Structure 1
């Protein structure tokens, strides 16, 4: 066994090979994590700790994000179409 390994000096190597399963039509705009979300209202932002809501939630509340469930607490989720 090597001395570096015994001193717990090891490296982690991750190799990634990306490839497109189904290439996208060049004329179409790709989806982003922010698609389908709206900024939260001031009340939700400051009192509810909500930064964004899904557009369907905001539409049910008359276009405002009040009392809507948060889309995410941290980061973004990308909803891909199911095929």
Structure 2
């Protein structure tokens, strides 16, 4: 019933982000909590989210259906 496209990107390592943003492992909560993160940890999480979305977009495959959908949605009289 169609084609399956599977893409693997390069892995993102949390330790690299922690080093880049100078965040220690002790400053991150060990479980899910509503406690706000400090400024450095919050910036690190935001950056990780951006990187993940960039990697997803790099791995995306343009299919005829998605291309047609884009054209129809960008038409002035959608």
| TM-score in same-fold range (> 0.5) | no
TM range (shorter): under 0.3
In proportion to residue count, which structure has more helix? Answer: 2
- Which is strand-richer, 1 or 2? 1
Please say which structure displays the higher CA radius of gyration.
1
Give me the TM-score of the superposition, normalised by structure 2: 0.26
| Structure showing greater relative contact order (alpha-carbon pairs closer than 8 Å, 6 or more residues apart) | 2
Question: Given the two structures, how large is their TM-score scaled by the length of structure 1?
Answer: 0.25
